[in-house]
Amino acid sequence: MIDVTLESVSKRFARAGDTAAVDDVDINIAAGEFFTLLGPSGCGKTTTLRMVAGFYFPTSGRIRFGTEDVTRKPPNKRDTGMVFQNYALFPHMSVAQNVAYGLKIRKVGRAESRRRVEEALAQVHLGGYGTRRIDELSGGQQQRVALARALVIRPRTLLLDEPLSNLDAKLREETRAEIRRIQREAGITSIYVTHDQAEAMAMSDRIAVMESGRVQQIGSPQEIYHQPANTFVARFIGRSNVLSLPVVSATATTVDVRLPGGGRITVAAPPEHGLTESATALVSVRPEHIGLCASTEEGALTGRVTELEFTGMATNLIVEIEGEPEGVMVAAVEVPAGLSVGDQIGLRLNADRMWVVRP
């Protein structure tokens, strides 16, 4: 098992002018870790993964596998296993021939190759499928063949680029659990690219959230969800509300802010938040940390319901907050019978779960 380090890695494409597709990225992925690059389309996650694979060389910066500098090494000198969105299997070959491909290139002997192919197919729960044709398999099975083909060469790192995108919702959930099981059993350092935040949260040990080529935050799913570093992360992960609230007073780790309804609450803040009295704090609050109350309750935010979205687990209320021109909030609540669009309601924020974010 090895760790993977990206040190001040940037990539500029000649055709794209001055803007960097990947801009000064520093990441250390621990040995055996399942690490995800997450962000919207065009944020630079695929370019980052391709530099780790060796398909692109960085314009500047270094990439290390353990202590070995691989920055300028071609892909075939890096021992990486790749899995792609479109599987990239050979349709005219059998499952076993597909899985054996990397071994053939590496001139592994026939008996050894057969043994390792069987082992890899068992690993992905496709034992006995060796003689099947690729087009006889479902999408989920094909993606497991692609995984077996990547693992059979015993790579030092496993790189996965949106491998579940072509599967339907149900199969995606099953296959993501399957990928995680296989990765854990193989104990292989893995980098996973996705734009799907639910997928990233469910699978990852840690996540790097990227935007415009830059890493916005690195942390566990819990850290990123509960303590987003800035407004981009707060809004991209889940569906956070970000309120601009006047600061009444502040300590090193908390900020007292005034709510539009006149109430005053204490909210946790990151180190070196730099906020002082009369500054404006940006405070993130998750929809599930908002409750309904009487609009007359002291300190309540009051507003008018503009939309009700039933999600199964709760209902998202979209509420226009009184006295706040841009103050639309989403609250995930159990809706009392009879509540409908246009009603006046009160909202109570759970200050214990709120968090000060940077702009």
Q: Which residue has the tokens 């970000």?
A: 242
Among 2, 27, 34, 45, binds ligand ATP (CB under 6 A): 45
C-alpha–C-alpha distance, residues 11 and 18, integer Å: 10
Compare residues 23 and 173 and give the one whose CB is closer to ligand ATP: 23
Least gap, CB of 201 to ligand ATP (angstroms): 17
Among 78, 116, 144, 195, binds ligand ATP (CB under 6 A): 195
Q: Given the rule CB under 6 A, which of 45-53, 58-66, 274-282, 283-291 is the region that contacts ligand ATP?
A: 45-53
- 116 belongs to the binding site for ligand ATP (CB under 6 A): no
Compare residues 113 and 216 and give the one whose CB is closer to ligand ATP: 216
Among 10, 34, 35, 39, binds ligand ATP (CB under 6 A): 39
- 149 belongs to the binding site for ligand ATP (CB under 6 A): no
- 21 belongs to the binding site for ligand ATP (CB under 6 A): yes
- 172 belongs to the binding site for ligand ATP (CB under 6 A): no
User: Which of positions 249-308 make contact with ligand ATP (CB under 6 A)?
Assistant: none
- 164 belongs to the binding site for ligand ATP (CB under 6 A): no
Q: Given the rule CB under 6 A, which of 11-19, 131-139, 295-303, 327-335 is the region that contacts ligand ATP?
A: 11-19
Among 16, 122, 294, 341, binds ligand ATP (CB under 6 A): 16
Compare residues 157 and 241 and give the one whose CB is closer to ligand ATP: 157
Among 5, 10, 47, 217, binds ligand ATP (CB under 6 A): 47
Looking at this protein, which amino acid is placed at residue 269?
A
- 217 belongs to the binding site for ligand ATP (CB under 6 A): no
SS (H, E, C) the chain: CCCEEEEEEEECCHHHCCCCCEEEEEEEECCCCEEEEECCCCCCHHHHHHHHHCCCCCCEEEEEECCEECCCCCHHHCCEEEECCCCCCCCCCEHHHHHHHHHHHCCCCHHHHHHHHHHHHHHCCCCCCCCCEHHHCCHHHHHHHHHHHHHCCCCCEEEEECCCCCCCHHHHHHHHHHHHHHHHHHCCEEEEEECCHHHHHHHCCEEEEEECCEEEEEECHHHHHHCCCEHHHHHHCCCCEEEEEEEEEECCCEEEEECCCCCEEEEECCCCCCCCCCCEEEEEECHHHEEEECCCCCCCEEEEEEEEEECCCCEEEEEEECCCCCCEEEEEECCCCCCCCCCEEEEEECHHHCEEEEC
Among 41, 222, 278, 311, binds ligand ATP (CB under 6 A): 41
Q: Given the rule CB under 6 A, which of 41-49, 85-93, 148-156, 343-351 is the region that contacts ligand ATP?
A: 41-49
Q: Given the rule CB under 6 A, which of 12-20, 174-182, 197-205, 280-288 is the region that contacts ligand ATP?
A: 12-20
Q: Which residues bind ligand ATP (CB under 6 A)?
A: 13, 15-16, 21, 39, 41-47, 195
